Amino acid sequence: MFDFELDRASAWISGGGYSSVALQLPEGLKVRAAEISEKLFSATGAEIIIAGRPCYGACDAMDYKGVADALIHFGHSPIPSQGEDPNVLYIEARSDAEIDGSVMDKLESLPKKVGLLATVQYLGLLPRMRALLESSGREVLIGEGDRRICHPGQVLGCNCTAAESVSDGADAFLFIGEGDFHPLAAAFGMRQQVMVLNPVTGEVRDMAEARDRILRKRFAAIQRAAQAQTFLVIVCSKTGQNRSEDASRITGMLRSHGRTAFKVVMEEINPMSLMAYRVDAYVNTACPRIAMDDSARYERPMLTIPEVEVLLGEREWDGYEFDQIRAPRTV
């Protein structure tokens, strides 16, 4: 069960004196939107407006102004580098799952020094997992990410800097969460083995096979794009996915290698939104996982920024570079 903290949300609405509040939920939690809306309305009397457009991360936080007085964003943590807005409340929807000590039987192969990672819903399990691993004689490392990351040990699908920060000391990583999306970020970004513990089912698995399967597809995408002459460089208008400077840099690089490159800015990137453009290949500077995980949906090859650099001979394929969205450097 996930904790939607509706008492805290109601108190925040009433305390802030908001008369209207927008609700934003990721696709997997939208099934609860009507129930949450009704409960918040009953508790506060505020008008509740459910945001119907797709939501995949806090990178996608809705511009609620003009729609409502405030926004409650469920299912993600804030992205600190995006700044704070007192009229936005993040409810991370933490899980109440627990880890049974018997799981250690499945983790015997873990080496001596283990980096711990999790999605935001399961970060509350890190202390328990740390205690279990330490009682088995292992050393545990939990890293701090850059300013795109809100909590120690947290991984986003586009950012594994929390793993990077302890990479020198860790022999392997153990990721706590469901699904492949987030642990794949660690598996793409780190050279060490990444094991996953699903705390709901108790399943333990190694990410190596899933990572290698996707890397083979990425290599094929680069080869398919090798003969492309005309490239569409996609820039996303969402604050947390906007990499205009990288888009300009990669556009210039393509042109300096004799290719034709155009930039397009759009909010939602999907096969329909790209259909109108007559180009040979796409470069996606928005969420890198659109190219990496969803490439089969697109008729033309779609590359990430480092993959274009490989294509142009500016970077080696060996030691595949995961296209992370990092927090902007502060001066």
Q: Which residues of the chain form contacts with ligand SF4 (CB under 6 A)?
A: 56-57, 59, 156-158, 240-241, 287, 289, 325
Shortest Cβ 325–ligand SF4 spacing (Å): 5
Whole-angstrom distance, CA of residue 116 vs CA of residue 303: 30
Between residues 114 and 156, which has the closer beta carbon with respect to ligand SF4?
156
Whole-angstrom distance, CA of residue 135 vs CA of residue 103: 13
Shortest Cβ 107–ligand SF4 spacing (Å): 27
Between residues 32 and 326, which has the closer beta carbon with respect to ligand SF4?
326
Shortest Cβ 286–ligand SF4 spacing (Å): 7
Between residues 121 and 241, which has the closer beta carbon with respect to ligand SF4?
241
Shortest Cβ 212–ligand SF4 spacing (Å): 20
Shortest Cβ 182–ligand SF4 spacing (Å): 8
Q: In terms of Cα–Cα distance, which of 153, 161, 197, 152 is closest to 179? A: 197
Between residues 253 and 286, which has the closer beta carbon with respect to ligand SF4?
286
Shortest Cβ 289–ligand SF4 spacing (Å): 5
At 98, the amino acid letter reads E
| Torsion of the alpha carbons at 40, 77, 95 and 188, rounded to the nearest 10 | 150
Specify the DSSP class assigned to residue 95. B
Whole-angstrom distance, CA of residue 25 vs CA of residue 311: 37
Q: Say if CB 70 and CB 18 are below 8 A apart.
A: yes
Whole-angstrom distance, CA of residue 23 vs CA of residue 51: 6
Between residues 13 and 149, which has the closer beta carbon with respect to ligand SF4?
149
Q: How far is CA 312 from the centre of its chain?
A: 27
Task: Kindly list the distances between the CA atom of residue 201 and the CA atoms of 4, 27, 107, in Å, as whole numbers in the listed order.
Answer: 21, 22, 15
Between residues 110 and 286, which has the closer beta carbon with respect to ligand SF4?
286
